[in-house]
Amino acid sequence: MQLWNTLSKEELVQKLKERGTKFVTVSFYQYAKIPNPQVFRDHLFQMWSNLGIVGRTYVAKEGINAQIGVPADKFNQFKSELYEISFLDGIRLNLAVDESEAEFPFLKLKIKVRPKILADGLQDETFDVTNKGKHLNAEEFNKLIDQPDTILIDFRNHYESEVGHFKGAITPDVDTFRESLPIIEETYLKGNEDKNIVMYCTGGIRCEKASAWYKHRGFKNVHQLEGGIIKYAREASEAGLENKFVGKNFVFDERRGERISDDIISVCHQCGAPCDTHTNCVNDGCHLLFIQCDNCKAKYDGCCSTECQTVIHLPVEEQKVLRKGKVVSNKIFKKGRSEKLLFKTNKVKPISFEKDKIALSRESEK
């Protein structure tokens, strides 16, 4: 059996349309010791291909991280087979809050073996990633973040927190998880060892490792939102709790976001109008991730700038010449950062340590 995909994007879309499959978007992770990640990867690929599953999964010696689309009529079989794997038996599955943003959450199945399921830049061999912080459900989270001795930290990247975050959260202006670990410790945690440290992310994987790391570094009152924003939104809704998250939750599939509240806290990066819809520049030599409203999408033909707009109207062969020698398209620019985006600002105000809360505000959230 072939253990990888060879179809083009157009062919994949057509294939999915012909099937007429309805997908359930599922994410899960587990830190565990996997002796032979490649063998495990191939086993998963065969098992999930038979079920018509699509999505992205990383496997490493430290565990598994998956964001996948499961055919709705195969979900029970998927769950049963997954739970037959000993270290995944009973694993929490995060289901998408809002499936309406995209026709297909993923187009193909990709399972890759990586050195780590979450790149962290850590070289400390004594670090035990399983010695994690205390997990909080939605109700416990709401109560603790209302306490004056609590520091609430968003462990996602700048383009994620820009469109949505918890009220009063510190939202560091970082590009990667690897970058966030030392910055958060040095800037926000040092000197606040006696406070409750509460962290959150999309589905929990970043906080799981971060909470374990800060415990390893000597911080004692370390907490994390169990299941991240995805589980919180569902749990708060079902239990009738106050939703303290404002805006959209950025997700790493074709939807790029699921709405948690009606608030729009960001602006179009090209005209400044209220907007929280992420897109990628359609120029194959760019693919910059940015926020674009419908008016600017029409004005710029889905591009991030007039320069890219000019390029996409050139003959295909000329476009290829311009791209020749450049790195992989989605690495050309840092996500959401470009001087071409006139209404995108990454300036961060100083931290304001008030008596009743600790907040970090962005200029763009005025």
**pLDDT beyond 50 at 294:** yes
Task: Examine the domain organization and report whether 357 and 304 are in the same domain.
Answer: no
- In a domain, residue 8? The reply is no
- In a domain, residue 230? The reply is yes
The helix, strand and coil proportions of the chain, stated in percent and rounded to the nearest 5, come to 30, 20, 50
- In a domain, residue 161? The reply is yes
pLDDT bracket for residue 262 (50, 70, 90): very high
pLDDT bracket for residue 305 (50, 70, 90): very high
**pLDDT beyond 80 at 329:** no
Task: Examine the domain organization and report whether 25 and 88 are in the same domain.
Answer: yes
| Contacts within 8 Å (CB) and 24+ apart, 176-180 | 176/119, 177/118, 177/119, 177/120, 177/206, 177/209, 177/210, 178/119, 178/120, 178/121, 180/155, 180/210
| Angle made by CA atoms 88, 230, 17, in degrees to the nearest 5 | 85
Task: Examine the domain organization and report whether 109 and 141 are in the same domain.
Answer: no
pLDDT > 70 fraction of the chain, expressed in percent and rounded = 84
Where among 113, 146, 173 does a domain terminate? 113
Number of Cβ within a 10 Å radius of residue 365: 17
237-255 pLDDT, tens digit each: 999 999 999 999 998 777 7
Task: Examine the domain organization and report whether 51 and 176 are in the same domain.
Answer: no
Task: Examine the domain organization and report whether 139 and 231 are in the same domain.
Answer: yes
Active site residues: 201
CATH of the domain at 189: 3.40.250.10
CATH of the domain at 88: 3.30.70.100
- In a domain, residue 322? The reply is yes
Task: Examine the domain organization and report whether 192 and 239 are in the same domain.
Answer: yes
Task: Examine the domain organization and report whether 193 and 287 are in the same domain.
Answer: no
Task: Examine the domain organization and report whether 353 and 216 are in the same domain.
Answer: yes
- In a domain, residue 296? The reply is yes
Strand ranges in the chain using DSSP code E only, listed in sequence order:
23-31, 54-60, 63-71, 94-95, 109-113, 134-136, 150-154, 164-166, 196-200, 222-225, 245-249, 258-259, 278-280, 289-291, 352-353, 358-359
Q: How many structural domains compose the chain? A: 3
- In a domain, residue 5? The reply is no
pTM for this model (two decimals): 0.76
Task: Examine the domain organization and report whether 98 and 145 are in the same domain.
Answer: no
Task: Examine the domain organization and report whether 175 and 286 are in the same domain.
Answer: no
Task: Examine the domain organization and report whether 351 and 222 are in the same domain.
Answer: yes
Q: Quick one: pLDDT at residue 322?
A: 87
Task: Examine the domain organization and report whether 223 and 361 are in the same domain.
Answer: yes
- In a domain, residue 272? The reply is no
Where among 80, 113, 146 does a domain terminate? 113
For residues 31 and 157, give the distance between their C-alpha atoms in angstroms, rounded to a whole number.
21
For residues 198 and 146, give the distance between their C-alpha atoms in angstroms, rounded to a whole number.
11
- In a domain, residue 234? The reply is yes
Q: Quick one: pLDDT at residue 130?
A: 84
Domain that holds residue 24: 19-113
Residue 287, both tokens: 């693919």
